[in-house]
Structure 1
């Protein structure tokens, strides 16, 4: 197969690369300067994805997205006989957040933004007590093991902006669990927010923190997706009942500086999931009885109709 750099594949994501379990996302592969006659191949972490139903027509759709779909995606296109192909596209990370039933990445201090020169500890905690989980990360350079790792714990004594990236727990077999975005800022202001997804119905609280005082700044403007949402003189902003519409990129701004952006994920409450599951379970359990009742009523109806027709026929004969 002859691959040429003249035809270049490029991948983009819609709506965004940060997702919550159950969301939908589409990766789109395009060939510069040409749009027809191509067939596309998709790869996650350099492994070929053979699910053609997801990747038809240059699009690869995950609906619903699950934790195991986390990874770095690339695409390649080919056409003609003999096959003529493009080189591999740019890399597109895709991160699906949620709460793993067994493995969690615990961050200390528990926040997504950190000051440069501060220390950070990340640890994989497995409720099933099985060993073999390590902390890995994806930065602007590559995918690598977390430096200074002891067992399932990674410790960084002095953070730098190059430590900004996505961190997760990975098993010996390659399973990825609990990806978290860690941002390191060399400025004077960071946004303090939950490092984990916020559950629908809970309260989301944000603080604007200053480097020198390590305490909330009293007067701060809070932004979501580039738009001002609140001006506070208490140093914090709270949303008492979080919904899916509150998901997005947040940052704060003060007279001392501006924080970087943090993606806040919102996931469905477990009680709501259980409620839906219980309804579905009830319907599935009751279906045979409902079907039997419908069949029995139909037979009774047919019997009554047959009996009535017989009586009418007998009356006419009389």
Structure 2
């Protein structure tokens, strides 16, 4: 074949291909309101085909490369979408009154997610009266356009009470500059936005517990330690020097439940005392004393464990005091183990039956645990340290009040004392003149 003839053939093939391509238009897929939506929203898929001379098309929709058609409408609506609706969508069309087909459109990806409010605490969940604390509510991957509401969890664990000053959480932070005993409780948050409209469910819960310098009621734990063996008896009692009635023991668990002692398996409440006849691991939680009016005092983190436990104090340790920690195992005699002692993940003493801190300071506050090479590792216990000034602040204030009371009494009595002295002096002078 001559070059001229070959050139003509190539031109003919090219023109046929061009004509064929022009006869098969390519559809365009659009997704409204957006390609990334929230779970529960309504989404509309639309297929548009632009071609001269064709007035009517029939449509076919495909998902994730499947050959199965799931809709024949130009617009297909997905109501109350879930993550299963996410994927890549394509469409194509056929001429209603003809034989032409369009090409398949480019794939358009729909993403569906469920924004979740996540609550965290800074710096710590464990506080002493006067400490600052901030609750932080965030919606990950969707950082802007949210407003926040703040709640406390009631004992029923099914009801959230909106905090009266929850408007402070508009920026995602709820800050308490000086924690008080009344701030002990279980907190949650929720986020909302207007465009697109969405309201998250309640977040995870966070427990704040505030230890009082001189709380009006104390939670007495017997045996007096925070960690306990399974299948043992355990007693928790609310003791108030002025009035021991009206207090109940309640607890909060890691899975977000808030409960009365009497509702717990093998637990019973008699007056202000909660008793477990035989402890089980599900008894682990934070326990506190609560009054009939809702006051919460003296929270204690109780852990029930079947293996090695750490013997640590129930109450905060005062700066300057001695602190002794022991590692215990029920199935040995004696119960003390030679073990490694750790604080916040770092080894502080190895292969000893106990570790002693002779002079406690605020720097000793943290998570402590022990581990034995064959018996295993104990749970972690938080040891809180309070300052000497905190412990004696109430004594000083009471002393000041007593001194002020005495001074005010003396000052109030001074006019009367002065008058009495003057009368006695005058009587003496009169008697002297009479004697003369």
TM-score (norm 1): 0.79
Paired position in structure 1 for 2:383: 264
Matched, 1:28 2:136: yes
Paired position in structure 2 for 1:244: 362
User: Aligned equivalents of 1:271 and 1:203: distance in 2?
Assistant: 18
Matched, 1:222 2:341: yes
Aligned length, in residue pairs: 278
Paired position in structure 2 for 1:158: 278
Task: Give a deviation string over 1:147-176, Cα, whole Å, max 9, x none.
Answer: 311111111011111000000001111111
Matched, 1:133 2:247: yes
Paired position in structure 2 for 1:205: 324
Residues 137 and 143 in structure 1, CA contact (< 8 A), matched pair in contact too: yes
Structure 2: state its 5+ residue gaps. Answer: 1-38, 41-112, 154-159, 262-266, 405-436
User: Aligned equivalents of 1:223 and 1:37: distance in 2?
Assistant: 44
- Specify the SS of the correspondent of 1:173: coil
- Specify the SS of the correspondent of 1:148: strand
Paired position in structure 2 for 1:290: none
Q: CA deviation at 1:93?
A: 1.3
Task: Give a deviation string over 1:207-229, Cα, whole Å, max 9, x none.
Answer: 11121236453522110000001
Residues 207 and 216 in structure 1, CA contact (< 8 A), matched pair in contact too: no
Matched, 1:66 2:180: yes
Task: Give a deviation string over 1:25-65, Cα, whole Å, max 9, x none.
Answer: 21110113311121111112222123257534101112222
User: Aligned equivalents of 1:219 and 1:151: distance in 2?
Assistant: 41
Matched, 1:10 2:10: no
126, 144, 149: which one pairs with 2:259?
144
- Specify the SS of the correspondent of 1:87: coil
User: Aligned equivalents of 2:274 and 2:148: distance in 1?
Assistant: 38
TM-score (norm 2): 0.59
312, 328, 347: which one pairs with 1:193?
312
Q: CA deviation at 1:86?
A: 1.7
From the superposition, tell whether residues 123 and 276 of structure 1 become closer, same or farther in structure 2 (CA, over 3 Å).
closer
From the superposition, tell whether residues 53 and 249 of structure 1 become closer, same or farther in structure 2 (CA, over 3 Å).
same
From the superposition, tell whether residues 275 and 9 of structure 1 become closer, same or farther in structure 2 (CA, over 3 Å).
closer
Residues 118 and 203 in structure 2, CA contact (< 8 A), matched pair in contact too: yes
Greater RCO, 1 or 2 (C-alpha within 8 Å, sep 6+): 1
Paired position in structure 2 for 1:49: 163
Structure 1 or 2: more strand by fraction: 1
Q: CA deviation at 1:124?
A: 0.5
Q: Calculate the aligned-residue CA RMSD, in Å.
A: 2.7
- Specify the SS of the correspondent of 1:178: strand
Residues 127 and 211 in structure 2, CA contact (< 8 A), matched pair in contact too: yes
Paired position in structure 1 for 2:84: none
